[in-house]
Amino acid sequence: MMRVVSLDEIKTVLPKVDLISDIETGFASYSRGEVVVPPVGEMHFESPPGDVHIKYGYINNDEIYVIKIASGFFQNTDMGLPNGNGMMLVFNQKTGQPIAILQDEAYLTDVRTAVAGAICAKYISPKKVDGIGIVGTGVQAKMQLEYLKDIIDCRKAIVWGRSEASLLKYVADMKDSEFDIAITQNIDDVVDGCQLIVTCTPAERPLISRVNPGTHITAMGSDTLSKQELDSSILLEADLVVADSKSQCEIRGEIHQAIKSDRFSMDTVVELGEIINGDKEGRTSEKQITVADLTGVAVQDIQISKAVLEHL
């Protein structure tokens, strides 16, 4: 019988799960060619602005396949509603029978995205981080610090936001965190004060136009054809550019935007799973500039869905 799992049940289960390990395993399998992930399905809306992504796939010889629907309507906060929503549908890979509906309201998408940011920091960030920069003030901006704290020793964060109100709310929401949080509306404070920067906004124009040696940037807000948080010159300057999925990043995200400049080549891009597998090198010098472009891959949804069901 198909099970319907509520968000409350999901939140009860997640502390029992080693999500870093599970999602690392997923990225590794993906880069070994063991995962079938069709092109992302998506719908875009203009009035009000929003987007819906449908990501789906399966791991060869696994027990399940997963279809994930996740939406983002960024004016929802004006109505007191969350920006994100959605669910994950889990099916038996051998029979097609539905196993579960995970009514996560996009929570699992937020978590697996934050975990991917932590994995990038684990493999690519400088060893010495004196400041963590967070660009954005939404749910993902908060979750990044939650999952980075188990990977990075640094407890100083500089958070950039567009408005004083959003920044003050961020600080209030994070008052019980382990971090000493400074806030700014000047992006240069983040660029010059942090060696690990995470961008997590729906921006369609670059927010960061320069980067200092010895910096790692994980860019995760740009997951469509039009979104962009980094000036393409940053990817051209970088010593290492990492994609969660080469095929996805070629047609969406920061790498896609850099390719449009006609100066950036996919030949220089390394997949995150290739670094995890030991097939490609990550950071080799503290002075390198590195960028990870995360567009979100269905294997993350598969792995986190499996983890929830296995621990219920």
Summary mean pLDDT of the chain: 96
Phi, psi of 261 (to 5 degrees): -75, -10
CA nearest 104: which of 26, 11, 23, 22? Answer: 11
Q: Tokens 């290492």 correspond to what residue?
A: 240
What is the pTM for the complete model shown?
A: 0.94
Task: Give the tokens for residue 292.
Answer: 């990870």
In this prediction, residue 80 has a pLDDT band, given cuts at 50, 70 and 90, of confident
Q: What is the pLDDT of residues 199-228, one digit of tens each?
A: 999 999 999 999 999 999 999 998 878 889
The pLDDT of residue 225 is 82
Distance CA(143)–CA(159), nearest Å, equals 13
Q: Residue 7: exposed, middle, or buried by beta-carbon count in 10 A (0-12, 13-18, 19+)?
A: middle
**What is the set of domains in the chain, with CATH numbers?**
3-108+299-311 (3.30.1780.10), 123-297 (3.40.50.720)
Q: Cα 38 from chain centroid? A: 19
User: Contact at 8 Å (CB) between 37 and 57?
Assistant: yes
Q: What is the pLDDT of residues 220-254, one digit of tens each?
A: 998 878 889 999 999 999 999 999 999 999 999 99
